[in-house]
Structure 1
Amino acid sequence: MRSSTSLEEKLDADVKSGEARDDPDAEFGGSEERKRLERKLLWELDVRMSVLVVIYILNYVDRNNAGAARLRGLQTDLHLQGQEFATLLSILYVGYILMQIPSNMFLNFIGKPSLQLPICMMVWGTMSILTGITKNFVGALLTRFFLGFVEAAFFPGALFLISKWYKRSELGLRVAILYCGNIISNAFGSLLASGILDGMQGKLGQAAWRWLFFIEGSLTIFVAFCAIFILPDFPATTRARWLSEEERRLAMRRMEEDAGVGDEAETESGGHATGLWMAVKDWKVWWLAFAMTSQVVALSFNAYFPTLSATMGFGPTVTLLLCAPPFIFTAILAFFVSRHSDKTGERFYHITVSFFVGIIGFIIAISTMNTAARYISLFLMAQSYAGFVVLYAWVSNSIPRPPSKRAVAVALVNAFSQLGNVAGSYVWPTNWGPTYRNSYAICIATSGCAIIMCYVFKLHLQYLNRKLDEEEASRGVKEKGFRYLV
């Protein structure tokens, strides 16, 4: 009897093994059941990842609230002279640049973004609050430096987290939704700042601009605490009730199929120094870093948006309210541009057409001081972010594996591009206003440079795709494997 039962079990195992070979989705119950499970997995992921948008809004609100505070006395109360305000803006990016690569390497090592990202968020919320109690330039300089130091963990970490769960065909839309947090923060931040600056002047003996830092920093700490219980970890390190073992295996299978190599569990096996070296010696990483740096200079108007809006001649409250519509429009546009880019599998034109429209906005701003025309130019400038979002997705698409290399590459490109923010902080000196013609001319030049670099990068990826075609043809492979998106 035992022998008979053992034989039946062996035959049953052989049948299942044969089915698995015939149907790669057999372990998930077949292709139809896998599709159902995949839809459920993506829905659960999207819900949890949505907290990243809220975090990114607060990330940029805490970073850029100095521009709004400047309108209501920060510069006067801290006795800032000459280029000291520009230095306050630029010093943030020194710490921001220094910490991005180490932070992502550490994130790949521990595999716990649900802890690392919220803890860093709590610290930067505290630094924002401390900015509100500073009395002089040196105190503000120190808080701004350390604010950038801890904020560095978030964006490259969030990009890496997303790239560990979503396929290339899904990545552009998710990066767009994440980056919309940045774009919306310009609108939401201006509206929030308008309310605080208008209603909190003199409360408890404090200036309204100080309340701006107190309130926004406190809100950041509260959201960070909530995020600990919402954010997922990586597929290889997640141990949570929301994800079944079957869903976890499917998440890893999806990414292995997308990259063509089964190395998604590398988070647990190391390879971090190797990933660093692989990223540093890959010229694609540096080319993308320089292209993004050039465009970041062109986007430097973002930090001075309230100042540029003020050139239309309205009071502080109206000026801040007028900052919101261009970025609301941009957030909506970025969503549709990225979604279309994902559907078509095309990156270059979705990026460069947006940059070119931005250049038209700079030209209009140079050409006239007419109020209506200048406001339209702000819309055209702001929509450049739609192309910039797609460029971020292109970075992750172009460095697909191994994960340790992707972690470093994403951080390196983003960190290096922040040099554009350091330089951009000095592109808008007060003595160039109110026309800021020289500033806009610099933006035109750097945006044009980014377009040219993207074109060269596209040609290189097309060359690599042709080589992959030739290799597969020589081996007689019928079905196409991995290809770079261009």
Structure 2
Amino acid sequence: MTSSRSSSISEKAPSAVVRPAAADVERDDPDAEFGGHGARKKLERKLLRKLDLRMSILIVIYILNYVDRNNAGAARLRGFEADLHLQGQEFATLLSILYVGYIIMQIPSNMFLNHIGKPSLYLPVCMMIWGTLSILTGITNNFVGALLTRFFLGFVEAAFFPGALFLISKWYKRSELGTRTALLYCGNIISNAFGALIASGILDGMGGKLGRAAWRWLFYIEGALTVFVALCAIFILPDFPATTRRWWLSEEERRLAMRRMEEDAGVGDEAETEVGGMASGLWMAVKDWKVWWMAFAMTSQVVALSFNAYFPTLSATMGFDPTVTLLLCAPPFVFTAIMAFVISRHSDKTGERFWHITGPFLGGIVGFIIAICTMNTAARYVSLFLMAQCYAGFVVMYTWVSNSFPRPPSKRAVAVALVNAFSQLGNVAGSYVWPSAWGPTYRNSYAICIATAGWAIVMCWVFRVHLGRLNAELDRAEREKGVKVKGFRYLL
């Protein structure tokens, strides 16, 4: 019996020795499961290429999101108000009502998206619905009909932007997020440029076709294009790392995607996201004053950016015909798209946020001042460029929000949606900042933009100081514990 037992033990001994050695290797090299550090870097580059290709569809979707939202501004130049018999502030009400539905739905939408874990289905379905509603706007004949379609358009469009921000924050690290957020938001910026060009072509070429006014064709065509792209997006968009379809991503790449997020936040919490915890996330976000501070800061920025919906009207103050007016809207936003990418990429490389937000808004304030001081055509056109590039700072602001609430995912989902939803109150107020009675100089409107942009800069500075203090506390805590490798730090 003893001999047999000894023999059995000796046969098992080698495997017992190997396992601790393997564990030691794993501790020494955390990338061992991916073949070592070099192999992991190669796999990571491949993963990012795949992700970037698939996420690029979000840019197209965002272009159409804003085109469908802002085409009323272009339609206004070709009989929209007259055909619907709009009077007084009714056009401004049509613009603002969209944001009522937009505000109501953002938080519930992101909570639902986090729960089901299937953005590849949820976002395209919402897109199909808002495309259909855009088409229906083209058949309305009165203020009430247009009001209803615009309200429900905002109700459904609310799903996209906070959902897209949450989706990319689940795949990209903080050092990668600014550039990707910039590329996403470039969809918004480009929509202002090419939306005006598309509108110019439709409004010039489709007037009277099949007995329909040109502005009606604008809603028909752009809405139909949205539905088509939504069908394509179902097969392109990824889900979350833990829920994504496996056919485009290997199991090793999926594990690496989840590992990257754990390392970036300093803790693994994917299970918390997928199992639930959304009520807890909602409570954590609501009671965090940083969320509300950022929400108020972004609201001020949105009021300062309210010129966006009236850009064709401001361009028209230079005295050109409607076609040229729409064409002149494009260059400022092409310039802004380039600026947004450059500034966001530099912000990622340096790990700095505040000055990359403040710089563009200071430039915008200069633009507002020029527009107040002169009606000279060249000067006013330059001012439009300076105003538009404020969006470069706004893009970095979105990235800063995602960076400042890294975990748990349920809190981040609610925080991103809450900040974006609350900030849309700025669009509701901003819709009334540009009444026709203040034109063509719009000096009062520009003064409001200067005040709100300045106040937003002050709020961002206070937030930066607070995050600096939190980082100092984290430094002190790590020194006391003897930790040599720095953990998570807020980006300033």
**Normalised by the size of structure 2, how large is the TM-score?**
0.97
C-alpha distance after superposition, 1:310-356 (max 9, x if no partner): 00000000000000000000000000000000000000000001100
Which residue is 1:182 aligned to?
Answer: 188
Percent of aligned positions with the same letter in both sequences? 81
Determine whether 1:276 maps to 2:282: yes
Determine whether 1:316 maps to 2:322: yes
Which residue is 2:468 aligned to?
Answer: 462
**Could you tell me which of 369, 372, 389 is aligned with 1:366?**
372
Equivalents in 1 of 2:461, 2:140: separation in Å? 46
8 A Cα contact 2:98 2:151, kept in partner: yes
Which residue is 2:427 aligned to?
Answer: 421
8 A Cα contact 2:171 2:257, kept in partner: yes
**Could you tell me which of 208, 211, 217 is aligned with 1:211?**
217
Equivalents in 2 of 1:231, 1:287: separation in Å? 32
Which residue is 2:71 aligned to?
Answer: 65
Equivalents in 1 of 2:81, 2:130: separation in Å? 22
8 A Cα contact 2:94 2:150, kept in partner: yes
Equivalents in 2 of 1:249, 1:468: separation in Å? 29
Determine whether 1:294 maps to 2:308: no
Equivalents in 2 of 1:7, 1:227: separation in Å? 55
C-alpha distance after superposition, 1:24-80 (max 9, x if no partner): 110111000000000000010000000000000000000000000000000000000
Which residue is 2:257 aligned to?
Answer: 251
8 A Cα contact 1:62 1:128, kept in partner: yes
Which residue is 2:142 aligned to?
Answer: 136
8 A Cα contact 1:236 1:267, kept in partner: no
Q: Which letter does structure 2 place at the counterpart of 1:69? A: A
Determine whether 1:117 maps to 2:123: yes
**Pair 476,206 (structure 1): closer, same or farther in 2 beyond 3 Å:** same
Measure how far apart 1:12 and its partner are: 4.1
**Pair 194,481 (structure 1): closer, same or farther in 2 beyond 3 Å:** same
**Could you tell me which of 373, 380, 383 is aligned with 2:386?**
380
SS of structure 1 residue aligned to 2:247: coil
Equivalents in 1 of 2:339, 2:19: separation in Å? 53
Aligned length: 486
SS of structure 2 residue aligned to 1:450: helix
Equivalents in 2 of 1:79, 1:5: separation in Å? 92
C-alpha distance after superposition, 1:138-182 (max 9, x if no partner): 000000000000000000000000000000000000000000000
Measure how far apart 1:268 and its partner are: 1.6
Measure how far apart 1:10 and its partner are: 4.5
Measure how far apart 1:9 and its partner are: 4.6
Equivalents in 2 of 1:93, 1:404: separation in Å? 24
Q: Which letter does structure 2 place at the counterpart of 1:71? A: L
Equivalents in 2 of 1:162, 1:110: separation in Å? 16
SS of structure 2 residue aligned to 1:85: helix
Measure how far apart 1:7 and its partner are: 5.0
Q: Which letter does structure 2 place at the counterpart of 1:471? A: A
8 A Cα contact 2:238 2:245, kept in partner: no
Equivalents in 1 of 2:141, 2:266: separation in Å? 56
C-alpha distance after superposition, 1:221-257 (max 9, x if no partner): 0000000000000011112211111111111110110
In structure 1, list runs of 5 or more residues that go unmatched: none
Measure how far apart 1:127 and its partner are: 0.2
**Could you tell me which of 114, 132, 138 is aligned with 1:126?**
132
8 A Cα contact 1:28 1:34, kept in partner: yes
Which residue is 1:85 aligned to?
Answer: 91
User: Larger C-alpha radius of gyration, 1 or 2?
Assistant: 2
**Pair 202,480 (structure 1): closer, same or farther in 2 beyond 3 Å:** same
Equivalents in 2 of 1:265, 1:453: separation in Å? 35
Equivalents in 2 of 1:245, 1:90: separation in Å? 46
Equivalents in 2 of 1:142, 1:3: separation in Å? 79
Which residue is 2:484 aligned to?
Answer: 478
8 A Cα contact 2:97 2:150, kept in partner: yes
Aligned alpha-carbon RMSD (Å): 1.2
Equivalents in 1 of 2:191, 2:257: separation in Å? 31
Equivalents in 2 of 1:370, 1:404: separation in Å? 51
Equivalents in 1 of 2:10, 2:361: separation in Å? 72
Measure how far apart 1:477 and its partner are: 1.0
Equivalents in 1 of 2:78, 2:99: separation in Å? 24
Q: Which letter does structure 1 place at the counterpart of 2:144? A: V
Measure how far apart 1:269 and its partner are: 1.3
**Pair 243,2 (structure 1): closer, same or farther in 2 beyond 3 Å:** farther
Equivalents in 1 of 2:200, 2:64: separation in Å? 16
Which residue is 2:234 aligned to?
Answer: 228
Equivalents in 2 of 1:379, 1:457: separation in Å? 28
Q: Which letter does structure 1 place at the counterpart of 2:231? A: F
Determine whether 1:55 maps to 2:61: yes
Equivalents in 2 of 1:112, 1:320: separation in Å? 38
8 A Cα contact 2:199 2:218, kept in partner: yes
SS of structure 2 residue aligned to 1:71: helix
Determine whether 1:198 maps to 2:212: no
**Pair 63,461 (structure 1): closer, same or farther in 2 beyond 3 Å:** same
**Normalised by the size of structure 1, how large is the TM-score?**
0.99
Determine whether 1:170 maps to 2:176: yes
Q: Which letter does structure 2 place at the counterpart of 1:176? A: A
SS of structure 1 residue aligned to 2:248: coil
Determine whether 1:42 maps to 2:48: yes
**Could you tell me which of 93, 103, 107 is aligned with 1:101?**
107
